[in-house]
A and B are shown apart, each in its own frame.
Chain A
Amino acid sequence: AQSVAQPEDQVNVAEGNPLTVKCTYSVSGNPYLFWYVQYPNRGLQFLLKYITGDNLVKGSYGFEAEFNKSQTSFHLKKPSALVSDSALYFCAVVSSNTGKLIFGQGTTLQVKP
Chain B
Amino acid sequence: ETGVTQSPTHLIKTRGQQVTLRCSSQSGHNTVSWYQQALGQGPQFIFQYYREEENGRGNFPPRFSGLQFPNYSSELNVNALELDDSALYLCASSRFHGAVEQYFGPGTRLTVT
Instruction: List A residues at the B interface (Cβ < 8 Å).
Output: 32, 36, 41-46, 49, 51, 90, 92, 94, 97-106
Contacts and interface: CB of A to CB of B under 8 A. Distances in A.
A43 B37 CA distance: 10
B43 A46 contact: no
A101 B106 contact: no
B98 A99 contact: yes
B105 A43 contact: yes
Contact of A46 (B35, B103, B105, B107): B103
- Name which of B42, B104, B105, B106 has the most chain A CB atoms within 10 A of its CB: B42
Contacts of B94: 99
A105 B37 CA distance: 10
B90 interface: yes
Given A51-B100, A98-B56, A99-B98, A104 B45 contact: no
Given A99-B48, A100-B45, A103-B42, A41 B97 contact: no
Contacts of B43: 44, 90, 101, 103
B58 to A, nearest CB: 7
B33 interface: yes
A43 B90 contact: yes
A64 to B, nearest CB: 18
Given A36-B104, A46-B104, A104-B42, 10 more contacts: A44-B104, A45-B104, A98-B48, A99-B33, A99-B98, A99-B100, A101-B33, A105-B41, A106-B40, A106-B42
